[in-house]
Copies of this chain bind each other. A is one copy, B any other.
Amino acid sequence: MGGERRSEYVFKGEGEEISLDDVYAAREIVSKHAKRTPVFTNETISSLAERELSFKMEVFQKTGSFKIRGALNAIFSLSDEEAANGVVTHSSGNHAQATALAAKLRGIPAYIVVPENAPKVKVKAIRGYGGQITFCGLTMQDREDACNKIQSEKGCTFVAPFNQKETICGQATIGLELMEQTDCGLDAIVVPISGGGMTSGIAIAAKSLNPNIKIIAAEPRGVNDAADVHKSKCAGELQVDAAKPKTLADGLQAKMGNLTWAVVKELVDDVIVVSEEEIVQAMQLIYERMKVVVEPSAAVGVAATLSEEMRQKFDKSEYRNVGVILCGGNADFSAVGFWDAWTKRWKSFAS
């Protein structure tokens, strides 16, 4: 079993140390409440990539994305005293649902700050997991102000979506599982990147178990050419003023924090940037050939794996076995009129 092999590697930076032991400790917590998601293969997509692909199916994870892992580790790492007053975070996406459910599982309140223009379906999902919602304005400052206010009123703890050791170690359990499920036989792992929590965690876990494995971050270019991870890696320093990508991959619009950037800078080998067109093409392959629902953010990893850039940079015989993280399945079908289209279709039969 790959999981038995330990290294002495410890990530050190920004005042934190993260080791494989931290990831094993996170797994103790995460495995109690989250799923050990399966690894799928797919002949068609592997043949298009001319590699052997192993897909880590976080789409089937509780709440529909990997985010529950980090939220569980952060929330169950709190002392009873800290936990008693609940937790707070700001997000309208997968991290909000994850925080709400993880808090519910610990039996404490979750206060979720949500921008007032958030889709109703997402608000409903957060409430469905027991989250208590506070609406705020649209800027990051509005979000942080609302969080701070709740923290001082309730005495609750902020759960960071990515830039926190516990969150990173929670997401790292994806890497641990994938390495075990593939007997440490992967040559590279392709991970969609946003704030960098999942990428950092997987990089630490995977490189601890196999220092030669390549970690490739996959990032959307956005219609405004705003791939800030790629730009940061090229510049060798975090591009804090970079614009947010306007992209279908709405889960990949955060910017890295100091801690995740420190890990990404040290452990990520390359960043492959994909277009919106490539994202839709990858979604089509995943839906039509794997029969799996992914959100656009999850298709970004597949798009990168199939890209010309991947082909050129990572020789297909040297990097033959490649892991790809299908990180979430919370696609907004209503936003593209999917259910209406089916309804319209059957009504047309009647006429």
Contact = CB atoms under 8 A, between A and B. Distances in A.
A329 B291 CA distance: 6
A338 interface: yes
A239 interface: no
A248 B336 contact: no
A59 B291 contact: yes
A293 B349 CA distance: 23
A277 B329 CA distance: 24
Secondary structure of the A contact surface, majority rule: helix
Given A338-B341, A341-B337, A349 B247 contact: yes
A339 B280 contact: yes
A292 interface: yes
Contacts of A336: 338, 341-342, 345
Contact of A345 (B293, B294, B329, B335): B335
Interface in A256-308: 276-277, 279-280, 283-284, 287-288, 291-294, 296
A316 interface: no
Interface in A138-167: none
A324 to B, nearest CB: 16
Interface residues of A, number: 38
B333 A288 contact: yes
Which one of A60, A288, A335 has the greatest number of beta carbons of chain B within 10 Å? A288
Interface in A1-28: none
Which one of A222, A247, A293 has the greatest number of beta carbons of chain B within 10 Å? A293
Interface in A23-79: 38, 59-60, 64
Contacts of A59: 291
Nearest to A40: B60
Interface in A228-250: 246-248
5 nearest A-B pairs in the assembled complex, by CB-CB distance = A291-B329, A336-B341, A276-B346, A223-B350, A246-B349
Given A284-B339, A293-B293, 20 more contacts: A59-B291, A60-B291, A64-B291, A223-B349, A223-B350, A224-B349, A247-B349, A248-B349, A277-B343, A277-B346, A279-B346, A280-B339, A287-B333, A288-B293, A288-B333, A291-B293, A291-B329, A335-B345, A336-B341, A338-B338
